[in-house]
A and B are shown apart, each in its own frame.
Chain A
Amino acid sequence: MNFSSPLTPTPVAIVVGASSGIGEAVARKLAHEGYAVALVARRADRLRALCAELNARPGAAHAVAYPHDVTHFDEIPALFQTILRDLGRLNVMVYASGIMLPSGFSEYNFGKDRATLEVNVLGAMAWLGQAATYFEQAGEGHLVGISSVAGDRGRVSNPAYHTSKAALSTYLESLRNRLTRKGVHVLTVKPGYVDTDLLKAVARPFWVVSPEQAAADIWRAMRRGKQQIYTLSRWGLVMWVVRHMPSFIFRRLRF
């Protein structure tokens, strides 16, 4: 019996960017762990297919699809309210939408830069801000943002992408500093190379993990109340070195 009683309420999660990649894997993981999941993403057909698949599992809490483009910022407050109305509560908010547009080493394309920032940063602020308002009142909740190792340093390859992930990491840190005292947990996820659509833009990936592996790491970190994780965890060590690398060396490198 899957009876959601006041004593044992079904937890609820929103996953933005649930149609593919890490977002999809996290949505599956949360559904598997008994969450009712609101699936938000731009590609309605893939979203509906995932939704149908999750709801077909016996004994599953339900998943609901909400097709939405995160750059339609004006829609977000109303959509957030609709999800809350439909599912009654919110325990976990995951922002996993992200794009990485291929960039040449001498390319300066404001159109691409803006699109990257809109999806990776402004969409995140719009969604996480809604959830933060809610969690602040609830006095509990998990905010999860999928940032990247790319946010730790500005490298030569893709300035806009690095900037967007640095901004997201800083935004999440600010939220954490605001909300920890209100009982809210904020998790910054910094994946290395994950086998998703974004990887197509990478020339020579290494240490590639599956989205499922990343989702499992995120779930564990969320349960343990970690502030930040690298997946794979060895990226933590690598990025420590990268962060401490002096500029006179770093600006000569080509990665």
Chain B
Amino acid sequence: MASFPSADRLALLTNFGHSIGSVAYVYRPTHAEQIAELYRSAAGTGFTVGMRGAGRSYGDASLNGGHVALDLQRMNRILDWNPGTGVIRVEPGVTIGQLWAYTLEDGWWPPVVPGTMFPTLGGCLAMNIHGKNNYVAGPIGEHVAQFTALLPTGEEVACSPTQNADLFHSLIGGLGVLGVFTSITLQLKHIYSGNLKGYAWASPNLRQMMDEMESLKADSDYLVGWVDGTWGGSGLGRGQVHRAHYFAPGEDPSPAQSLRVEAQVLPDTFFGLVPKSILWQFMRFFMNTPGAWLTNTAKYVHARTLDHRHHFLQSLVAFNFLLDYVPNWEKSYGRGGLIQYQSFIPRAAAAEAFADLLKLTQRRGLPTYLGVLKRHRPDKFLLSHAVDGFSLAMDFKVTGGNRPALQRLTDDMSRIVLDAGGRFYFAKDSTLTREVVAESLGPDTLARFCAMKARCDPQSLLQTELYRRVFGSI
């Protein structure tokens, strides 16, 4: 019998930001039976199995160094599509990009999408991702009608909000350590145009941006704030609010045209001249603190000058997948890559806590080069990152020398977040300790998650580096 794991499957896997990586034995199944076979091979060997989709998590969520990584990207078939009801059944390796391209012409759009279209739906469910409409649409899990999952016990379970509801609310957001999704049934959103009505305007500081988002949230389909993390004083957290509305039925005079996939494709040049595929190479020169100050300031001045309080048309893809606008943008951070730190803080405490975070990063000489503010609402999933409040996501450049300082900074930031009653999001995390996670989740949630882990995976076969870091081997 061939040895397990097979040595020729060693491969380096990295995070989205290319700042963290490890070498694992990578298996790429095409069918659920192969996963069951792998579970059997791994059982009792001491090797754990970690799930990986497109590797778009910012931290170590899809890494499993020295162990087995199960890359699900080849399980990418669309199993069933009903253009009448907008219900689609897919395998876990289907990406967000694959999904919308398949359903758009029929007038359906994924109700919740992240800032990039490359993640797989298996990964999206395991992290219970959110979009710029979290305060109204909730996380993606709320749009899952049903899924089937293969537990490490060998049991195949079908779950929906009413059937096996406890498993449903645990596996979604369960970091892929309770079981693997084998099929996912999603209810898509009916749309009447391939465009959104977009609005964008400058906001002079963080507090005002939050007030504006708060007052507009009842009347906006999407809301997101870009935050300049390099500016201090009375302009702390200045930036730009982006708001968008879907078109109502009949509002778009020619929906058939805007609903074509070709109408959604991001332009491949800037100003019709500079090929975007090489743009990241030029962005490298600005990925330092003076460069970030310059670009952030230029962007803010631009936002102040071109005030788009009146709507303009923007394609669904252009609005939602900002991160895909510049291909390989993450490489512009250089060899050290980047990490993101996103915290979620209840509304009453958010303005003060985020101001403290921004000031701390500036004081330490490690300002964020990109800050993003979003509005959220709570949900019913077991490991939930959402609160009735705001989140601030901050990108930090990682260099050969700043890693310890960055760790100390984020440790101190986590203290501020915990004191404000905040939470964290595991798809973005690469710095939290077990103690911080335990405190933010609370003993009750932690105990329920441990109980669910023991039930679904009594041998603790499914693990990732993230799981071992924040939960330990239960």
Contacts and interface: CB of A to CB of B under 8 A. Distances in A.
Contacts of B65: 84, 88-89
Given A8-B403, A77-B3, A137-B12, A89 B430 contact: no
Contacts of A139: 12
A133 interface: yes
Nearest to B21: A138
A3 B10 contact: no
A244 B46 CA distance: 53
A34 to B, nearest CB: 12
B47 interface: yes
A82 B11 CA distance: 17
B229 interface: no
Most buried by A among B15, B59, B65: B65
Interface residues on A, range: 20 to 34
B46 A7 contact: no
Contacts of A6: 15, 20, 59-60, 430-431, 465, 469
A7 B22 CA distance: 12
Interface string A126-140: 000010011001110
B244 to A, nearest CB: 34
Given A6-B60, A89-B65, A77 B20 contact: no
A7 B20 contact: yes
B7 A77 contact: yes
A5 B407 contact: yes
A87 interface: yes
B403 A7 contact: yes
A5 B59 CA distance: 11
A134 B23 CA distance: 8
A138 B10 CA distance: 9
A139 B5 CA distance: 21
Interface in A218-234: none
Contacts of B469: 5-6
A85 interface: yes
B407 A7 contact: yes
Contacts of A84: 65-66
A81 interface: yes
Contacts of A90: 23
Interface in A101-151: 130, 133-134, 137-139
B23 A89 contact: yes
A77 B339 CA distance: 35
Given A6-B59, A8-B403, A137-B23, A88 B465 contact: yes
A78 interface: yes
Interface in A131-181: 133-134, 137-139
Contacts of A86: 66
Contacts of B430: 5-7
Interface in B1-46: 3, 5, 7, 10-12, 15, 19-23, 46
Contacts, number: 65
Contacts of A77: 3, 7
A82 B407 CA distance: 30
B10 A133 contact: yes
Interface string B428-465: 00110100000000000000000000000000000001
Contacts of A5: 407, 430-431, 433, 469
B66 A89 contact: yes
Nearest to B407: A7
Interface string B140-176: 0000000000000000000000000000000000000
Most buried by A among B3, B11, B23, B465: B23
Contacts of A7: 19-20, 339, 398, 403-404, 406-407, 430-431
A49 B65 CA distance: 29
A3 B15 CA distance: 20
B340 to A, nearest CB: 12
B267 to A, nearest CB: 34
Interface string A5-22: 111100000000000000
B468 to A, nearest CB: 8
Contacts of B7: 77, 81, 130, 133
Contact of B404 (A8, A85, A134, A138): A8
B67 interface: yes
Contacts of A134: 10, 23
B11 A137 contact: yes
A134 B66 CA distance: 10
29 contacts: A3-B433, A5-B433, A6-B20, A6-B59, A6-B430, A6-B465, A6-B469, A7-B339, A7-B407, A8-B407, A77-B3, A84-B65, A85-B67, A86-B66, A87-B66, A88-B22, A88-B65, A88-B67, A89-B22, A89-B66, A133-B7, A134-B10, A134-B23, A137-B10, A137-B11, A137-B12, A137-B23, A138-B21, A139-B12
Given A6-B20, A86-B66, 15 more contacts: A5-B430, A5-B433, A5-B469, A7-B19, A7-B398, A8-B407, A81-B7, A84-B65, A89-B23, A89-B65, A133-B10, A134-B10, A137-B11, A137-B12, A137-B23
- In the A-B complex, the 3 residue pairs with the closest CB atoms: A84-B66, A6-B430, A88-B65
Interface of B: 3, 5, 7, 10-12, 15, 19-23, 46-47, 59-60, 65-67, 339, 398, 403-404, 406-407, 430-431, 433, 465, 469
